[in-house]
Chains A and B, each alone.
Chain A
């Protein structure tokens, strides 16, 4: 016997929504088994992971703080991936954004004004965009593989940040710790509520989600992105220039990742230091796919992943479970969503090796 997959007819729209929901449900079910095997009370563990993070307003704000960079980066990546451009280096663009914006905060320390923050945000976006244009230009001019270049540039950005905070930008009064000064108030994003860390960055991200949704669904640019990804030759017939588009989507996704970086620096961490990002740029790839490369989908997926991050921290403290559990969740989630996609689009069938003659 052998397993084959037959394409199902007319499963398009249902699969779009069914598959992520089913994947989440299966992840929860499997995690019950995992907790049980670890000798934990599954209900208590689920509670710690998925309910405690959102059980009070402070927790909800923490979830928003984590979800903000994930969603912002994922929305940019979704535009890229839709048009068949594979930007895997959002993590690097995120760090460069933080460096460009943070550099302004360090430089204007002591003599800045209300103009500092807008300047930082613009610098962060510009830095991220330019950094993302490196693989894009190499792809369009020399046909260099953008996956490799964008990925390798992540390590360049990490090392650059490392050098800056250990060398020129180190806080002179920081006991030799590798970190910059804490940013001045005019270089930080205002908080939305007292007694929490949610800041203006979350609002900016929601605006970006709305704009991206309209662009994708209702504008010619969104149609161009879709068409170039679906059928490049037809896109040329439609008069769209795929090379220009590659540059555009890389610049936009780099700008959004850079914006996420500078907002993380100016809003949440308020200084630069080496392990500044817990890998947001990479996790955002999962978020983008879990969200079906759709801006609103990315928002929902980003919140869900953020909850598992916070839940993981809680579980470390309360249940003494290793932090790796969070990665196990994310891995299971990605696995289930791919499986659900396949099974909803295709019907598996066991067939005999030889047809009866």
Chain B
């Protein structure tokens, strides 16, 4: 008997049918993948299974009985746990306090700490109960969320894009845990855009396209390519690179011995960072999250000023003291890592989100007044060029699925024809088709003579597009090496700090 069976689940958002009569069956002891393009309706489906959204039609069966799930608490009561992509933890509290707060029954903190320690040992999820959350890495935070679910002893664990923020090593740790859970007869429902990962981990998959189930398969019998084809219903283009030597020209961006203390106490200070990006070149910066990437982005964008104007030189002009808009007027563009709240304002329509990044260069105002027509025109242009899927013409940013919003914020900057583009995690949470679209756009931008600096944790991505690569570790940057001279192992060693002597220049 299936553990969970959804029959004909339907959910609408206004005129848009996010889930259209979806059937899903999860067996006990199974790791079941839920695949689909951005906006296919994966998050919507699992939110219904966890009691966060109410279906408009259809039934959910749990161990054979039809159930209603009015709240997440009801779902937890049955034995369903869920880990969201965006964590819900209190930074100032300790690990144990965070776990205790989320339990449905009140238990003394002592008992919670002990149980937490047991679970974290049993499932290989190392956690120190007394650490404050703000000191922890993203991976450790996710382990808290997982332990928190396991404390409720669930029969089904739902994970929504758990590995998009993890390092490869952290991902491996997570997979080991999930395999342990499977061995105990528990089921896992797993959403991911990383198809290789799904092939290695899952034994069943349900594939959604535009809210409908289009296929079911055993991913072990498939290739990443065939899975991607099922998702999009078409072949995904390979990213094509131009010959590097031919086009890379003189230096456009030079960062010269840049040291910046971090603004927040949890951050990493930049120490003596030096780099150069030539015209037509893509420089990749790899590194484990939290090693100064946020600080480097802020210093390059001008959200944080450099100590010396000459620390950052763009086309021969020192810009270290310029703000972000002065840099934009000098034909630079920026895509921050965090989409909602940083790159885009969640509750404002896309047109105003276009204005946000574009107002400095003018073009959206006429005689001092904002021109809505031009803003909408820009939204249409981005939508068309980057295949942004949305319901109405100008929805609020938060109504877009994660990947579609990412396509919008990347497209918004690239269409502005920048000569320098600084982009962090360009394909974070984006499906395979959209990821290749974005990567190709970056390559094409460089081929037209722009300089592109990509900060990414995804090594596959960097090897695919970067001409040269450097590694950031504890706020220091390694020299940049031509990508074809590097191996994955060499980069991995650098990411682990090999060759970064304490207090010395990077090797």
Contact = CB atoms under 8 A, between A and B. Distances in A.
SS of A interface (majority): mixed
B348 interface: yes
A230 B68 contact: no
The residue in A223, A227, A238, A356 that gathers the most chain B C-beta atoms within 10 A of its C-beta is A238
Contacts of B368: 219
A352 B70 contact: yes
A239 B360 contact: yes
Contact of B324 (A4, A230, A239, A354): A239
B77 interface: yes
Interface string B360-382: 10000100111000000000000
A234 interface: yes
A219 B372 CA distance: 11
A353 to B, nearest CB: 9
A247 to B, nearest CB: 17
A9 interface: yes
A227 B348 contact: yes
B47 interface: no
Contact of A223 (B67, B77, B370): B370
B344 interface: yes
The residue in A214, A234, A354 that gathers the most chain B C-beta atoms within 10 A of its C-beta is A234
Interface stretch (B143-151, B228-236, B351-359, B447-455): B351-359
Contact of A230 (B71, B348, B369): B348
B440 to A, nearest CB: 25
B345 to A, nearest CB: 4
B364 to A, nearest CB: 9
Interface string B292-308: 00000000010100000
Contact of A220 (B62, B343, B370): B370
A349 B71 CA distance: 11
Contacts of A233: 338, 341-342
B328 to A, nearest CB: 7
A355 B369 contact: no
A184 to B, nearest CB: 41
Interface string A211-231: 000100011100100110011
B244 to A, nearest CB: 31
A357 B63 CA distance: 10
Interface in A319-356: 349, 351-352, 354-356
Given A4-B70, A355-B77, A357-B65, A219 B343 contact: no
B57 to A, nearest CB: 15
Interface residues of B, number: 42
A84 B451 CA distance: 38
Contacts of A236: 303, 324
A10 B343 CA distance: 24
A6 interface: yes
A44 to B, nearest CB: 46
A107 interface: no
Given A233-B341, A237-B324, A349 B370 contact: no
Contacts of A220: 359, 365, 370
B347 interface: yes
B14 interface: yes
A10 B399 CA distance: 11
A351 B71 contact: yes
Contacts of B345: 227, 230-231, 234-235
B381 to A, nearest CB: 20
Contacts of B12: 9
A9 B395 CA distance: 13
Contacts of B324: 236-239
A354 B77 contact: yes
Nearest to A238: B356
Interface in A177-232: 214, 218-220, 223, 226-227, 230-231
Interface of A: 4, 6, 9-10, 214, 218-220, 223, 226-227, 230-231, 233-239, 349, 351-352, 354-357
19 contacts: A218-B369, A220-B365, A223-B355, A227-B345, A230-B347, A230-B348, A231-B341, A231-B345, A231-B346, A231-B348, A236-B324, A237-B301, A237-B303, A239-B324, A239-B359, A239-B360, A351-B71, A355-B69, A357-B65
Interface of B: 12-14, 54, 62, 65, 67-71, 74-75, 77-78, 301, 303, 323-325, 328, 334, 336, 338, 341-348, 352, 355-357, 359-360, 365, 368-370
